[in-house]
Structures are given as structure tokens and as C-alpha cells.
């Protein structure tokens, strides 16, 4: 059973482990809708309730795929989607847009693609530089009043932006990349979330597969975006894989996998986690991690072995970093 956490101070109790759906539409090589729907069905059967998507994933395809799953009577599914990143199909280059008219248009378009009347959690995917977060929150607050969204979330924002946003309207959740490979959020954003009663949702909690110890550049599809990510460059990847000894040792002792230990560590930090996968075997391994309780000593060992800055290479290219920590 996946343990529950509250989504914000007055939000619902949700299973701590959700499902990131992005890779079912793009960024990680070939996709297969039938296979992805099978994963969505199995995740729901195993207790997953938070399904995370965005309008930009496959330029609407991911939301439409999720709609096909939701039509099968998934009344307890909690849908989180996002707006704010605009890009052309098949391209990685993007612009950040938080303009009021675009927010309203994007919300209506997501509702239509998802086939629902209200979005459970609507994230600002990236905050637009030069635009006051207060303006953005005002528009989103109007959408709450109109009944189109239930809760507001922010993604990859600074602690200061979170505080300013929360002063306008309660923020239910902040989503950021967080794993043993990426711990910068611990310095300010995580403490601010705890102070304000805002849930923290960790995406890429397995370091985009790096923490499995099984990533090899030669096996990545030609259109897998990790081929361009600095952390997965040939030299960087070799250096990063060489750092996984402590993780592997704990996994061996617990007779589990490095990925499961890494995911259990994120859950032990009190965060929601939304690992993404389009394969049933990986889904079931990830859900099994929710039953793995690490000891205080194991958590300390992992904290010390993978202090912030341990891993080599930025997590995104400069293009991908647009709007991060805004």
C-alpha cells in the first residue's frame, strides 16, 4: 500500500507515489499508446491516484492520452497538468508565457483535451521572467472562483516567488526536480514549503534513470533528450555512474534495486514523488519502493554520500533551464 500525504494544509490525502506521464508522449524515445494505457490502468489498480501531465507534453497528446484512461471510470484519479511552456512540435526550443490571455486559453484547451470539468491541480510550469507572479496568481485565482481549477501549483520556482505567490492565493504544491542527484531545493524551497504548509512534489526522483545504474548512452534512442543533457554526456555519465557505490551497497544489503532505494529516500524526505515510466515492469518496481522503509543510518549514509554538488553536469541545457528557479 502506498502511504498517503496531505496535498497542502487543507488539500486531500493522496498516495505519496504518483505517476509522471511525460515520457508516454515524447522526450524518451519511441512511444506506444496501448502500452502507456496499460501502465496507467495498472498504476490505478495498484493505488496510484496522482497523474501528472502538461499541455506541452507531446503538444497536447499526453493530455489526450490521459483522457482515454479517465474515460474508463477512474473517478478517484487526481489530475495535475501545467501551462506556461510553449514550443513547436518536435522541437526542444521553447518560450515561457504566463500572459493572462494565454493562461485562460491554455486552461480551456487542457480541460477540453482531458475531457473533464475541473483540473484538480493546475501548475505554472515555468514562471515568466519579467512578469510579476502576483499577476499570474490573480488570473489563476479567478479560474478557481470560476470552478475550472481546484488548486494552484508552481513548478521550479524560488522560495521568494513561492512566498509572493502564496500571499495572493494559497499554493497547494510546488513541483521541482528532486533526487539524490539534484538536492538544491533543500536549501530554501523545501523549508519554505514546510513553513507555509505547501506540498512538495518531486519529479525525476530517479535522476532520469541515472540512479538505476543501468543507463548507457549507447542504448538511448536517437531522439532521447538525455543525449543532449550535460549530466548524461559521455564523460559526465561515466563519472556519475562511478559515484553509485553507496546506493548499490545499500540495495544489495536490502535485496532490492538501487532505483528502489533512491525512490525510498525521496519518500522518506516527506515529498510526493512522480516517477515516470511507460513500462509495466518499472512501474511495479517503483510502487514496491513505497513499502521500503530505510533506516536512519541508511538515510544518513545516502545524505552524506550524495551531498549537493556530488554529481557532474547540469541537469538541463541552457534552453531547458529557462524559467528554472524564477
**Alpha-carbon span 15 to 278, nearest angstrom:** 20
Tens-digit pLDDT profile for the chain (326 aa)? 899 999 998 889 999 999 999 999 988 888 999 999 999 999 999 999 999 999 999 999 999 999 999 999 889 999 999 999 998 887 888 899 999 999 999 999 999 999 999 999 999 999 999 999 999 999 999 999 999 999 999 999 999 999 999 999 999 999 999 999 999 999 999 999 999 999 999 999 999 999 998 888 888 888 888 988 999 999 999 999 999 999 999 999 999 999 999 999 999 999 999 999 999 999 999 999 999 999 999 999 999 999 999 999 999 888 888 788 87
Active site residue 44: no
Q: How many CA atoms lie within 13 A of 113 on its CB side?
A: 23
Per-residue cell: 148: 475550472
Q: Of residues 28, 57, 123, 178, which has the active-site annotation?
A: 57
Predicted local distance difference test score (pLDDT) of residue 216: 84
Predicted local distance difference test score (pLDDT) of residue 220: 86
Exposure string of 184-198, with b = 16+ CB inside 10 Å and e = fewer, is ebeeebbebbeebeb
Predicted local distance difference test score (pLDDT) of residue 241: 94
Beta pairing partners, 177: 203
Amino acid at each position: 500500500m502506498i502511504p498517503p500525504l496531505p496535498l497542502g494544509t487543507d488539500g486531500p490525502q493522496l498516495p505519496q507515489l504518483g505517476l509522471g506521464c511525460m515520457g508516454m508522449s515524447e522526450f524518451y524515445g519511441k512511444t506506444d499508446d496501448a502500452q502507456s494505457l496499460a501502465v496507467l490502468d495498472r498504476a490505478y489498480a495498484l493505488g496510484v491516484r496522482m497523474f501528472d501531465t502538461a499541455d506541452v507534453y507531446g503538444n497536447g497528446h499526453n493530455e489526450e492520452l490521459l483522457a482515454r484512461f479517465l474515460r474508463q471510470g477512474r473517478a478517484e484519479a487526481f489530475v495535475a497538468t501545467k501551462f506556461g511552456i510553449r514550443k513547436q512540435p518536435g522541437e526542444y526550443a521553447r518560450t515561457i508565457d504566463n500572459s493572462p490571455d494565454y493562461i485562460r486559453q491554455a486552461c480551456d484547451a487542457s480541460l477540453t483535451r482531458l475531457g473533464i470539468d475541473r483540473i484538480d491541480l493546475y501548475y505554472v510550469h515555468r514562471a515568466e521572467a519579467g512578469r510579476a507572479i502576483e499577476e499570474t496568481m490573480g488570473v489563476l485565482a479567478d479560474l478557481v472562483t470560476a470552478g475550472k481549477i481546484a488548486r494552484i501549483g508552481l513548478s521550479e520556482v524560488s522560495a521568494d516567488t513561492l512566498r509572493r505567490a502564496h500571499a495572493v492565493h494559497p499554493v497547494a504544491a510546488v513541483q521541482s526536480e528532486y533526487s539524490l542527484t539534484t538536492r538544491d531545493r533543500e536549501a530554501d524551497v523545501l523549508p519554505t514549503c514546510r513553513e507555509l504548509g505547501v506540498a512538495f512534489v518531486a519529479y525525476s526522483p530517479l535522476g532520469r534513470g541515472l540512479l538505476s545504474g543501468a543507463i548507457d548512452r549507447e542504448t538511448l534512442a536517437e531522439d532521447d533528450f538525455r543525449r543532449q543533457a550535460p549530466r548524461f554526456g559521455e564523460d559526465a555519465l561515466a563519472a556519475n555512474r562511478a559515484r553509485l557505490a553507496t546506493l548499490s551497497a545499500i540495495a544489495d544489503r536490502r535485496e532490492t534495486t538501487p532505483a528502489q532505494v533512491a525512490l525510498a529516500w525521496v519518500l522518506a524526505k516527506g515529498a510526493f514523488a512522480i516517477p515516470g515510466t511507460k513500462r509495466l515492469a518499472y512501474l511495479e518496481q517503483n510502487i514496491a519502493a513505497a513499502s521500503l522503509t530505510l533506516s536512519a543510518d541508511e538515510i544518513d549514509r545516502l545524505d552524506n554520500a550524495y551531498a549537493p554538488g556530488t554529481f557532474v553536469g547540469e541537469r538541463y541545457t541552457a534552453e531547458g533551464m529557462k524559467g528554472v528557479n524564477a
